[in-house]
Structure 1
Amino acid sequence: MTKALLIELGCEELPARFVRPGLAALKEAVEEALRTARIPFGEATTYGTPRRLSVAVAEVAEVGTDLEEVIKGPPARIAFDETGEPTQAALGFARKNKVEPEDLFRLETDKGDYLAARVRQQGQSLATVVATLGSRIERISFPKRMRWGYDIGPFARPVHWFVSLHGDQVLPFEAFGVEAGRHSQGHRVHGKDGADIASADEYLAALRSVAVEPDRAVRRERILVQAKALAESVGGQLVDDPELIETLVDLTEHPMPVLGHFDSSYLNLPRSLLISEMREHQKYLAVENSEHQLINAFIAVSNTASRQPEVVAKGNELVLRARFEDARFYFEEDAKVLLVEQASRLKDVLWERSLGTLAAKTERVAAVAAWLADTTNQSVDKEQLARAALLSRADLVTGVVGEFPELQGEIGALYALRDGEDPEVASAIEAYYRPRYSGDALPQTELGCLLAVADRADSLVGIIGIGKEPTGAADPFALRRAAIGICRLLDEIYPEISLDGLFTAAAQQYEKGQLSDGGVETAVRFTLTRLRGQLKEASHSTARVDAVFAAGGDCPGALSGRVRALESADLSDLSAAFKRAGNLLKKADPEDLKASVPAGSSPPEQQLLQAVDQIEEALTGARERRDWGQCLGLVATLREPLDRFFDDVMVMSKDPVERQQRLQLLARVQGCFVDLVDPSKLAE
């Protein structure tokens, strides 16, 4: 008989960013335990709050299925002696699989006869499997973990209780020194006594009776509905912020939105500054009017249902007023200094001890951006480009960005406009930080794109050039993010630019001897590794990505374009023939490839030669246009003549002239695929 299985882990308040990964890890731990034990089960659903992670699995059987499998042992010729008696090899195989020697039998296969044993494994009880869950739960990892008590842990936060039920029956296990039962703690204020969970099916109702809403979707809907109603009550609407909503969902067990107000004089401060104060520091939802202008209202989401919500609102208003006063102070102090004067202070700010100051970095970025503009024939105003580069990091020494680093770029652009700088320069200052994260928009201006590429190239070449390539999880200079960003920019904006050319230009801006030899090559390899990973994460098959990268090249635009084109081209039929050609060429005498000989005269050779002649010129044009779909279509036409060539021709002929003719023809075939695709990888 199947019943629902419930596993709940209770702990002290988790950071919001830990809840969803923790739920996924707990679900995987439970499902993996059931799968390994061959226990049939249905759909698994997770529930989570700051104080609990739980998974409910439907239709879980009480015992796992029995397993009978045939284990293949040593070949029969060594398993039995001349008299037919089992050898030591056979006896050892029997002991290993816990069967009697007389139960062994001969198994006939395509590769010959083998000794075999039929092994039966009885299914484990669910109780036995659940008893092992503790060790799996203790292995769940988080970005940061802690220990408590007498060296208990590590886990994200101290663990205080477990619930483990199959139907209405407790299935015990232990983890972190805590034994599982049926008692779950309730809301800290509204449900202090907690609840005994009668059965797994009654879990949600039991927690709701002690003021805990375990379902994240229900909490999200409650927050959105009530917050929208409060915003509409003052003639406004919520500023769209789905990420903050998810954070609020994972910060509360009993969410109660509360409307607050602030003095309208603060609306004279920049919108981004006000939202940053509300969002980043207080987790408040901002409110705007229909024209997307902020109004002097906000919504705080409390974790308790107060009898006097106006008191809760007043407390939040006092906190926010203090934050806004700080913001106004920094903003007004910054207004006393021109942005270009702030830029002069960068010479006193060290970027990296071996690489100099931010002022020196700014000069290098300007030079690389100018090189990129010339190389790509961008018709940009060089004076504007130089000015944008000069001011690009000036806001890092302002009071506002010092207090609110997430506003770098935005504040610089705002101050540039305030000082009367060209709008194109201001836009570049804001845009060159993009993309800040995966999926972020790219800069929308030419100046912004040039600076974005140049800045990332300088960072990658510089930091890697002094031997500080990221290892493990440590990446203090965010080089992985820089590499991913530069690949996106080159793919979508500058598809003709190679990493080697770009990084060489960046390295030339450093003083002689400042970077180690081989730094450019290492930076190229590091960046290509990030690109390869990004393409695989974008649902491109591993075989196709590997086939493209194996063909060579270091141009992100070309590599990405070839992978995308390969998704709609089928070259798998070329795989075996291309691999055979490659193996023959590897073994060939280099002199055979250099010899001056006429083309072979046999029909298969002539047919393949004509096919190569027909596509080589077209391939050159398609490569120049970066029409990778046409390139792949052209090389695909070689399949039939190449197959016939291998079927009818002995490549490694004893006649040296014939051998040379055929190897040189294969070399031309292979040349058609250089920097395009290696079909042999498609079969791996």
Structure 2
Amino acid sequence: MSTTKNLLVELFVEELPPKALKKLGEAFSAALANSLKNAGLAPATASVTAYASPRRLAAHVTEVAAVAADKPVAQKLMPVAVGLDAAGNATPALLKKLAALGADASVVASLRRENDGKADVLFFDSLAKGATLAEGLQKAIEAALAALPIPKVMTYQLQDGWSSVNFVRPAHGLVALHGSDVVPVAVLGLNAGRETRGHRFEAAVDPVVFGNADEYAAKLATDGAVIASFAERRAEIARQLEAAAAQAGGKPIDDDALLDEVTALVERPNVLIGQFEQEFLAVPQECLILTMKANQKYFPLLDATGKLTNKFLVVSNISPEDASAVIGGNERVVRPRLADAKFFFDQDRKKSLMDRIPGLSKVVYHNKLGTQGERTERVAAIARAIANELCDVELAHKVNEAALLSKTDLLTDMVGEFPELQGIMGRYYALNDGLRPDVADAIEDHYKPRFAGDSLPRNLVGTVVALADKLETLVGMFGIGQIPTGDRDPFALRRHALGVIRMLAESNLNLPIDKLFNCVFAQFNGIEGFQLNINALYDFIYDRLAGNLREQGYTAQEVDAVVSPQPKRLGDIPKRLAAVRAFAALPEAAALAAANKRVSNILKKLPIWPQADIDNALLVEAAEISLYAALSNVVPQADIAFNTGDYTESLQALAALRAPVDAFFDDVMVNAEDPALRANRLGLLAKLHAAMNQIADISKLSA
């Protein structure tokens, strides 16, 4: 039994892609540790610590053995009848098989016999030598490098001038320590040692030499001026950002992706405060924030009200005694960026959004669906139709104006430079043109919700235009066959569908989805090659709805009961779900759900769904007379509650049907020989089915 020690592996490289560094570090350590565990060199309980800095990937694994334990191996040979002759001696076939396994006739007597269900079979039991750490680690490092989620590899020559290797960046050093011992492994043309390089400019010692695996992080920090842990470096940056912001009298912008990227750019962070001229604050703050974040990786500072100040935070990779030169350099670099944003803003305002509308006819939206100009005409027509459904003439004028202008900011210099600002800049330019605030807001908000959890449009004008825009996209793309498959969804149709669902459900607008789609279908008449499978589109919408409701915590049965009938008014969905949940808690629920399922199965088998017409004279059995009487009493109560929007009361009224329904199925033959009796009983079931499924398909609650 070999003694276990902790293991350290570090690959020292040139600067890694910052947006990928966090994943690269996690993937490298996880793959390395898993390989060691699978080889029996580390227990399943071994602790794994990942390190990742701009110039290194490393992993520390505890309890790693020098040699893996031998493993018992059971090798199935052949049936006894084939391997042994009548005298029990080994046949030539058995001897040949044993020789291939490195054994001879001396092991024949110890071969194990076991029945495999067909015949007695010979098994050769042996011990496989456990892998040495050098063997196992070599394979583990190679496997870990091969499994890295590398965005793009590069090919570079090794020092011999002949050989070349492929990796994300040129590698210059390899550390592999088991306790204090170097493990003799090699990868990417590098032999393992105990030395690495620290900070490019501020390392106290070069090279940094490790005495053992456990001093890695501490020695790299003291001798190398590098915080090796991505998580620790990120936390230190966040701490310094807060401290510097407090000193400057503001708060740093909250952006996890930017914090991750900056963490991947520096080895020992030093946060500094810079500033720019007040005059730039006349430019919309979204533009300034975006250019500072995207181009310079700065953290803009906001005041207590969330308004941008003229100060920003720089995360530097050096810590000079006098930081004024670093701060001044960053201030000089950011000034031209801000000046560009101001120039774009000033130039864009010289031309109104209304004057830009003709330009949309020169921008292709989709080669099968025409230009952006044609698209905005469709969106405007859909928005007007929705406003008419809401019987609001003034709204129709506003949504028409907002829809026609909604894409015009795509033609501005600012959005050309920063596509992320589409809609946002449209609102600023609309206000500059003197348009009504709710119309300007709608130009920005018609993209909402842009992502899961995003806010909805802030007013009705924005909601209607957003609905029109998303519905036009869904119908248009489905009509030309651009339907999402698997992970592919290039036109974000799933997000558009969820946006429609959220707006209809959370705004509780009286807009049935079938009427909405009728407003949309008419706008695609005459488009060559346009063929819409309406049922596929409805299924797509309701699948998204079901998934969204399950994420909110509703059970699969509750969601299925409410969504499978495809209710047209999505604003009612929360009330329907609440009603189903309350109904399911009743003692009568299980029996009624089972009965409803039975009724559905009977009626589905019929060539034509029967009318709920009942002739009293043909009600002959006591149980069917009783069921009809119960329905006559319950249905009006349920309908009154349904029509007033009290879905819970409407469903609970059905509880009174349990006894008569049970009696009906116990005592009445539905498929009577007399056609008139049979038709009357099927009509009674159709009436029962309609009453029970007005709010949800309660058969889905049946186990």
Contact 1:368–1:505, Cα closer than 8 Å, also in 2: yes
Cα deviation for residue 250 of structure 1 reads 3.5
Quick one: distance in 1 between partners of 2:592 and 2:193? 58
Equivalent positions of 1:158-169 (< 5 A) are none
**8 A contact 1:40–1:64 mirrored in 2:** no
Output the CA distance in 1 between the equivalents of 2:668 and 2:581. 34
Match of 1:490 in 2: 504
- Of 221, 240, 257, 1:208 maps to 221
1:148 paired to 2:169: no
Question: Does 1:459 pair with 2:466?
Answer: no
In structure 1, what is the Cα distance between the partners aligned to 2:645 and 2:184?
Answer: 63
The separation in 2 between residues aligned to 1:3 and 1:650, in whole angstroms, is 79
Instruction: Tell me if 1:439 matches 2:453.
Output: yes
Judging changes above 3 Å, is the alpha-carbon distance between structure 1 residues 346 and 550 closer, same or farther for their aligned structure 2 residues? same
Displacement of 1:443: 0.8
> Aligned residue for 2:299?
285
Q: Give how far 1:513 is off.
A: 3.8
Q: How does 1:473-552 map onto structure 2 within 5 Å? A: 473-494=487-508, 496-514=510-528, 516-542=530-556, 544-546=558-560, 548-552=562-566
> 2:442 & 2:562 partners in 1: Cα distance?
34
* Alignment CA distance shift 1:238-1:466 (3 Å): same
Measured after TM superposition, the shift of residue 320 of structure 1 is 0.9
2:550/2:556 contact within 8 Å kept: yes
1:122 and 1:577, CA in 2 relative to 1: closer, same or farther beyond 3 A?
Answer: farther
* 1:145-198: CA deviation from partner (whole Å, max 9, x where unpaired): 435359999876667767666766777888878787766654344449565555
Q: Do the aligned partners of 2:112 and 2:124 also contact (CA within 8 Å) in 1?
A: no
Task: Give the secondary-structure state (helix, strand or coil) at the position aligned to 1:441.
Answer: coil
Distance 2:556 2:72 in 1: 34
Measured in 2, the distance between the counterparts of 1:541 and 1:162 equals 52
* Superposition pairs of residues 15-26 of structure 1, within 5 angstroms: 15-22=17-24, 25=27
Alignment pair present for 1:423 and 2:425: no
Distance 2:60 2:659 in 1: 56
SS of equivalent to 1:298: strand
User: For residues 498 and 131 of structure 2, what CA distance do their matches in structure 1 show?
Assistant: 48
Superposed, which structure 2 residues align to 1:44-123 within 5 Å? 46-52=50-56, 102-104=113-115
Q: Secondary structure of 1:439's match?
A: coil
Distance 1:121 1:551 in 2: 63
| CA distance in 1 between partners of 2:664 and 2:166 (Å) | 64
Change (3 A) 1:187 1:401: same
% identical equivalent positions: 33
Q: Which residue of 2 aligns with 1:676?
A: 696
1:359 to 353, 356, 373: 373
Q: Secondary structure of 2:309's match?
A: strand
1:74-93: per-residue Cα shift (whole Å, max 9, x none)?
xxxxxxxxxxxxxxxxxxxx
Work out which of the residue numbers 434, 437, 450 in structure 1 matches 2:464.
450
Aligned to 1:581: 598
TM-score, normalised via structure 1 length: 0.77
Residues 215-270 of structure 1: CA distance to partner in whole angstroms, max 9, x if unpaired?
Answer: 34432332233333333444444344454334323433322112222222222222
Q: Which digits, 9 at most, give the CA deviation of each residue in 1:336-372, with x for residues without a partner? A: 2122112232222221222222222112111111222
- What is residue 329 of structure 2 aligned with on the other side? 315
Distance 2:136 2:684 in 1: 63
Deviation, structure 1 residue 418: 1.5
3-state DSSP class of the match of 2:328? helix
Give the match for residue 81 of structure 2: none
Question: In the alignment, which residue of structure 2 is the partner of 1:92?
Answer: none
Cα separation, 1, equivalents of 2:672 and 2:122: 51
Paired amino acid for 2:44: P
1:577-631 CA deviation, whole Å, 9 max, x = no partner? 369627852784558967967457466x677767766654455456556666556
CA distance in 2 between counterparts of 1:26 and 1:379 reads 62
- DSSP 3-state at the match of 2:318: coil
The 1:193–1:413 alpha-carbon spacing in structure 2 relative to 1, beyond 3 Å, is: same
Does the CA-based 8 Å contact 2:642-2:650 persist in structure 1? yes
Change (3 A) 1:167 1:231: same
Distance 1:131 1:607 in 2: 81
Residue 88 of structure 2 corresponds to: none
Structure 1 residues 405 and 596: alpha-carbon distance in aligned structure 2, compared to 1, 3 A threshold = same
Structure 1 unpaired stretches of 5+: 70-98, 107-114
State whether structure 2 residue 194 is matched by structure 1 residue 187: no
Give the 3 Å change call, closer, same or farther, for CA 534–4 of structure 1 in structure 2: farther
| Residue 222 (structure 1) aligns with | 236
Task: Describe the SS at the equivalent of 1:509.
Answer: helix
Cα distance in 1 for partners of 2:375, 2:232 equals: 50
Contact 1:186–1:193 (CA under 8 A) maintained in structure 2:
yes
Residues of 2 paired with 1:445 and 1:593: CA distance? Answer: 46
When the two structures are aligned, how many residues end up with a matched partner? 648
Counterpart amino acid of residue 187 in structure 1: H
1:634 to partner: Cα distance = 5.7
Q: Report what 2:144 is aligned to.
A: 137
Q: What's 2:80 paired with?
A: none
The alpha carbon displacement at 1:391 in A equals: 1.8
Larger deviation, residues 482-491 vs 416-425? 482-491
Larger Rg: 2
Mapping of residues 228-267 of structure 1, within 5 Å: 228-267=242-281
Is 238-247 or 148-157 further displaced after alignment?
148-157
Deviation at 1:105, TM superposition (A): 9.3
Q: 1:386 aligns with which of 400, 417, 422?
A: 400
User: How far apart are residue 431 of structure 1 and its match?
Assistant: 1.6
Q: Pick from 359, 364, 370: which aligns with 1:350?
A: 364
The alignment partner of 2:310 has SS state of strand
SS at match of 1:325: helix
Could you tell me which amino acid in structure 1 is paired with residue 155 of structure 2?
A: W
Separation in 1 of the partners of 2:662 and 2:38? 46
Q: 2:94 — aligned with what?
A: none
Give unpaired runs (5+ residues) of structure 2.
Answer: 75-109, 158-162
Deviation at 1:278, TM superposition (A): 1.0
Partner of residue 349, structure 2: 335
Distance 1:374 1:313, change over 3 A: same
What does 1:561-600 align with in structure 2 at a 5 Å threshold?
Answer: 562=576, 570=584, 573=590, 577=594, 581=598, 584-585=601-602, 588=605, 590=607, 598=618
Q: Structure 1 579/614 Cα, relative in aligned 2: closer, same or farther at 3 Å?
A: closer
* Cross-structure match for 1:40: 44
For residues 159 and 640 of structure 1, the distance between their equivalents in structure 2, rounded to whole angstroms, comes to 79
3-state SS of 2:440 partner:
helix
Q: Is the 8 A contact 1:8 1:55 kept in 2?
A: yes
1:519–1:302: structure 2 CA closer, same or farther, 3 Å change rule?
Answer: farther
Q: Confirm or deny that 1:406 pairs with 2:426.
A: no
Structure 1 CA distance for aligned equivalents of residues 186 and 655 of structure 2:
60
Checking the alignment, whether the CA contact within 8 Å between 1:385 and 1:447 is kept in structure 2 is yes
Report the AA paired with residue 354 of structure 2: V
Determine the C-alpha separation between the residues in 2 that align with 1:568 and 1:201.
59
Report the TM-score, using the length of structure 2 for normalisation: 0.75
1:197 and 1:206 in contact (8 A); partners too: yes
| Contact 1:23/1:47 (<8 A) preserved | yes
Alignment partners' CA distance in 1, 2:543 and 2:347: 45
The 3-state SS of whatever aligns with 2:523 is coil
Considering only aligned residues, what root-mean-square deviation do their CA atoms show, in Å?
Answer: 4.9
